[in-house]
Amino acid sequence: MRRPVARKLSVLAVSAAVVSVGAAAPPAERSTPAKTPVAVGYGGAVASVDPDASAAGIEVLKKGGNAVDAAVATAAALGVTEPYSSGIGGGGYFVYYDAKSRTVHTIDGRETAPLTAGSDLFLENGKPLAFADAVSSGLSVGTPGTPATWATALGKWGSRSLGSVLKPAERIARDGFVVDDTFRSQTASNETRFRYFPDTAKLFLPGGQLPVVGSTFKNPDLARTYAELARKGVGTLYHGDLGDDIVDTVNKPPVDPASGWNARPGDLTEKDLAAYRAKLQKPTKTSYRGLGVYSIAPSSSGGTTVGEALNILENTDLSKASDVQYLHRFIEASRVAFADRGRWVGDPAFEDVPTKELLSQRYADSRACLIKDDAVLTSPVAPGDPRHPADCSSGGTAAPTTYEGENTTHLTAADKWGNVVSYTLTIEQTGGSGITVPGRGFILNNELTDFSFAPANPAVHDPNLPGPGKRPRSSIAPTIVLDQHGRPVVAVGSPGGATIITTVLQVLTGFLDRGLPLVDAIAAPRASQRNAAQTELEPGLYNGGLRARLEAIGHVFRLNPEIGAATGVQRLPGGKWLAAAETVRRGGGSAQVVYPAP
């Protein structure tokens, strides 16, 4: 969530910055750990956007915890320091590599719609609600999945109790963290709607004012909530007092009458909370350059869409391609994969999602032949039929990509035993619904706005319409890559709404194909094409010479100041780990290891 004032995206500048930052010792008087975008060492590693959160994970590793324990500890701390991007009022997707069995497992911790929700959830008088009206309302709030994800992960693969791994986050909430420019600016961008809700304003606008940069921000309500979770377990949310408070807040949003805001009520019940399950499921898997690429399966479209795009690129030698050829192929592969995502991917409990077929090389080859080196496909590209692939053909009607909020957060963790976690968690857009549960210290999600409000084309089935207990489609794509022997090569992920898919794809191809060091693959200027007329470019590409050369082929671009905020870990020889995070995006990330290498 933390963003820079100025941005430098050249890879050469980034590499130089990494050397200088990595060599600098943190100021002795500073209580918050210094942000360092790359770290190498032993005993395990954690990378996130926030130094306090990464330190929480490292603290757990130092005490003998494993990667799962560290991931939950880091996630809980992010709920304190990155409250507009994550927290126990939201959900996410957890990908875990077990070193002993050399297998990958996943948890779908996506929020669910109320059991009373129909396809008309966001219709009013027969017409779709304005997006802003839907967001800051009880209608947008899904049953939280994050606490269930933590309990499931710890119960299956962790070595520490929930109470134990919540202690660092509880301490940060109680004692506070230092406000920076980004926390203040993110608060400022939400100030108007935060004032609609007195409990949100009281917490995040102390004394009625924006938090002051350099001040200490404390959240005693959240500290008490974490302490309650530690004592009672997550049952207090799904079957107890905390859940009752969430239900009351969703169904009767505590809005300031003087604001004039129509905070439409939701229809969440104790039955919805009691019925919630974090789903253990198989990962998506595709082979790329002889490596195994594992990610999350639907309800997220991340694994299928990244996997299909990689399969489309499989027969192009990106290591020898020029910069123009590389970006052209990357953009076109993304365009085609998003066309198929829009038609085929939804919650598999409700939709017949052809996951296996979308990830088949045969289907990717049938779609790859649409791509030409001297021309650009016209968006929106129509989807293909993965069950009946036909070379260079497409069928049906194209659907535009629905909007997803971009301020999710991602963390990666590894331990001394070789276990790895790639975990993306979210409350959807910056500040979620804007509604704080009174006395509880956290904001509720607005994830249900990830559903289509109405069919993009009434003549075509939309797999992402709301439904009772349904999970909205996501683009989250936490990914782990294994070598031919089943050992981890790299794990990556990013926030960014629908741009998550293109960010993960670009980081993977930059690292695996273009030979960039992981921190440089993360820092490289990004492009994002999501089956739209224009491709988004960060300034490092938009203001450079490559743009004109790509426009000569037929590409059309628009500027996006910042795309994603990735983190990753890489396994090195001899038991070493490399952790990498952003150098400048969101103010830079924090990579830490247990025992730094000399």
Residues 497, 503, 508, 513, Cα dihedral to 10°: 150
Backbone angles phi, psi at 492, to 5 degrees: -145, 165
Spell out the alpha helix ranges (H) of 513-575. Answer: 518-523, 539-542, 545-553
What is the distance between the alpha carbons of residues 166 and 432, in angstroms, rounded to a whole number?
22
- The yes-or-no answer on residue 509 being catalytic is no
Phi, psi of 177 (to 5 degrees): -135, 165
Report, in this order, helix, strand and coil percent for the chain, each rounded to 5. Answer: 35, 15, 45
Q: Give the other-Cβ count within 10 Å of 427's Cβ.
A: 34
Report how far residue 505's alpha carbon sits from residue 313's, in angstroms, rounded to the nearest whole number: 10
CA distances in angstroms from 121 to 249, 266, 283, 294, 467, listed in the order given = 18, 10, 30, 34, 8
Of 143, 187, 408, 567, the catalytic one is 408
- Angle at CA 240, nearest 5°, toward 238 and 241? 125
Tokens standing for residue 376? 């650009």
Q: Rounded distance, CA 358 to CA 478, Å?
A: 18
Closest CA to 108 of 359, 301, 349, 281: 281
Residues with Cβ within 8 Å of 25's Cβ and at least 6 positions away in sequence, in order, are: 34
Element at 358 (helix H, strand E): helix 355-358
Residue ranges in 26-145 assigned as alpha helix (H):
51-62, 67-81, 131-135
Using alpha carbons only, give the angle 56, 58, 61 rounded to the nearest 5 degrees: 115
H/E segment holding residue 344: helix 323-344
Containing 123, the helix (H) or strand (E) segment is: strand 123-124
Asked whether 409 and 80 are in contact (CB, 8 A), the reply is no
Peptide bond preceding 144 in cis form (omega within 30 of 0): no
45 bridge partner residues: 414, 593
Residues 6+ apart with CB under 8 A from 258: none
Task: Report the catalytic residues.
Answer: 408
